[in-house]
């Protein structure tokens, strides 16, 4: 608790240990287990079947590594390094920040099995290994305050659905998907993915879209901002723009119409773009039967208000305008720890200084995440 407010971090990241997949992957794939090939703390890079994950475009990779190394040195934050990162590290950080609970998200595992042509069985083994490791990590930490978010093999909808069933039995509260297109010409509103949404809806797991710093798939901005000095442009563009595609697909694309009890989060992209984007989607919804599908019976903004959540971070001063436009029931809070641009250990303090009502702060810090994750 912080200054009288209970707080849940909707998107707290772990840092995967170097030997996670070496220790946890199915023995059939032991010789192909993802292996750590770079030593930068937060942006850990793994080699998967000879390919780097995550994939940073152009010469930006060296710039990112140098920037992270300098920040770690200057800020003297040993908790950022994989060697020091354990469940007790998370618990100490939560205590220092004033977090009462957190949903734990991957870092490297956002990318390590995302290559669209990756063998589905291998991708599934990578996902199972990570999810098993995370379950053990939570057990060794604080299961009453830490909750799991699992990864799946997006190359196979059937295998993904099987793993969703399994992580639900592990007590996880969500699965995470990248908003990047799973493969060329294919996106999440297409009915071939309905088995994923149906399984999550039936089991009460949230689906959470989360962009990351580097993708082997299409990523907004990566096609034109490839030099090291342009990384800031690409990173600024990729997170909200990819989430805008995901919001459009899940609302105007008909997924929330078909699965009215599915809960969907759109995280680490801020939320101040939402009012304009929902307005624009509503405008295009009016062309029913011409530019939008007949099956979508409600304006996209109504689907979002019923089933969607987006995250806010502590320094997002425009959030007040977002609340004015769409209300305060669909916004959840994240410290973005342990990323190096996080305001930790002052994220909650800074958020409480924003010019929004006390009731909105209470809902954003606690109530809304309780609903998103069915805690």
For residue range 192-218, what is the model confidence (pLDDT) as tens digits? Answer: 999 999 999 999 999 999 998 777 777
Query: Among 42, 151, 97, 14, which residue's Cα sits nearest to residue 365?
Result: 97
| 213 within domain boundaries | yes
Q: Flag whether 1 is in a domain.
A: no
Q: Is 42 inside a domain boundary?
A: yes
In the chain, how many domains are there? 1
Evaluate whether residue 3 is within a structural domain: no
pLDDT tens digits, one per residue of 101-158:
999 999 989 999 999 999 999 999 999 999 999 999 999 999 999 999 999 999 999 9
Name the least confident of 28-42, 180-194, 263-277.
28-42
What pLDDT score does 41 carry?
A: 46
Share of the chain above pLDDT 90, in %: 73
pLDDT, tens digit, 9 for 90 and up, residues 14-24: 989 889 999 99
Residue 285 near residue 233 (C-beta atoms within 8 A): no
Q: Among 120-124, 220-224, 256-260, 343-347, where is mean pLDDT lowest?
A: 220-224
Q: What is the radius of gyration, based on Cα positions, of the chain?
A: 20
CATH code for the domain of 147: 3.20.20.140
**Residue 224 pLDDT:** 83
Mean pLDDT of 344-358: 96
pLDDT at 164 over 90: yes
pLDDT value at residue 76? 45
pLDDT tens profile 36-91 = 886 554 457 888 998 888 776 556 666 666 666 665 565 545 555 555 689 999 99
Confidence label for 174 from pLDDT (cuts 50, 70 and 90): very high
Enclosing domain of residue 114? 8-373
Q: Read out DSSP for 264-322? A: EEEESS-STTHHHHHHHHHHHHTSBTTTB-TT--S-HHHHHHHHEEEEE-TT-TTHHHH
| Cβ–Cβ under 8 Å, residues 326 and 305 | yes
Is residue 220 in a domain? Answer: yes
pLDDT of residue 2 exceeding 70? yes
Average pLDDT over every residue of 279-297? 87
In a domain, residue 264? The reply is yes
Q: Which is more confident, 231 or 364?
A: 364
Report DSSP letters for 131-168, one per residue: HHHHHHHHHHS-TTTEEEEE---TT-HHHHHHHHHHHH
292 pLDDT above the threshold of 80: no
- pLDDT, tens digit, 9 for 90 and up, residues 229-260: 787 888 888 999 999 999 999 999 999 999 99
**The predicted structure's pLDDT at residue 351:** 98
Q: What is the pLDDT of residue 75?
A: 54
Average pLDDT value over all residues in the chain: 90
Is residue 2 assigned to a domain?
A: no
| pLDDT value of residue 84 | 63
Residue carrying structure tokens 């800031």: 232
Instruction: Indicate whether 172 belongs to any domain.
Output: yes
């Amino acid at each position: 608790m912080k200054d009288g407010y209970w707080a849940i971090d909707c998107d707290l990241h772990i840092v995967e240990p170097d030997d996670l997949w070496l220790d946890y992957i199915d023995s059939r794939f032991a010789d192909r287990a993802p292996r750590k090939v770079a030593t930068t703390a937060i942006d850990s890079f793994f080699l998967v079947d000879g390919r780097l994950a995550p994939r940073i475009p152009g010469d930006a990779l060296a710039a990112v590594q140098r920037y992270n190394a300098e920040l770690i040195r200057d800020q003297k934050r040993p908790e950022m390094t994989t060697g020091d990162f354990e469940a007790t590290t998370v618990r100490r950080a939560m205590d220092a920040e004033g977090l009462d609970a957190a949903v734990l998200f991957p870092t490297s595992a956002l990318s390590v099995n995302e290559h669209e042509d990756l063998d589905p069985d291998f991708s599934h083994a990578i996902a199972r290994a990570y999810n098993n490791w995370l379950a053990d990590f939570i057990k060794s930490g604080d299961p009453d305050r830490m909750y799991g978010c699992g990864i799946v093999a997006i190359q196979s909808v059937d295998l993904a659905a099987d793993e969703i069933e399994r992580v639900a039995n592990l007590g996880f509260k969500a699965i995470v998907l990248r908003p990047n297109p799973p493969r060329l010409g294919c996106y999440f509103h297409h009915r071939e993915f309905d088995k994923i949404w149906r399984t999550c809806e039936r089991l009460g797991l949230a689906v959470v879209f989360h962009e990351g710093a580097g993708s082997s798939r299409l990523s907004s901005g990566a096609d034109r901002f490839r030099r090291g000095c342009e990384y800031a442009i690409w990173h600024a563009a990729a997170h909200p723009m990819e989430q805008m595609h995901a919001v459009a697909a899940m609302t105007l694309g008909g997924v929330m119409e078909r699965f009215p009890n599915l809960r969907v989060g759109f995280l680490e992209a801020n939320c101040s773009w939402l009012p304009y984007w929902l307005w624009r989607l509503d405008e295009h919804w009016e062309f029913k039967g011409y530019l939008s599908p007949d099956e979508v019976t409600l304006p996209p903004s109504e689907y979002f208000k019923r089933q969607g959540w987006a995250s806010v971070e502590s320094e997002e001063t425009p959030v007040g305008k977002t609340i004015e436009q769409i209300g305060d029931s669909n916004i959840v809070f994240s410290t973005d720890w342990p990323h190096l641009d996080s305001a930790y250990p002052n994220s909650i303090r800074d958020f409480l200084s924003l010019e929004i009502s006390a009731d909105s702060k209470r809902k954003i810090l606690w109530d809304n995440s309780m609903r998103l994750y069915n805690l």
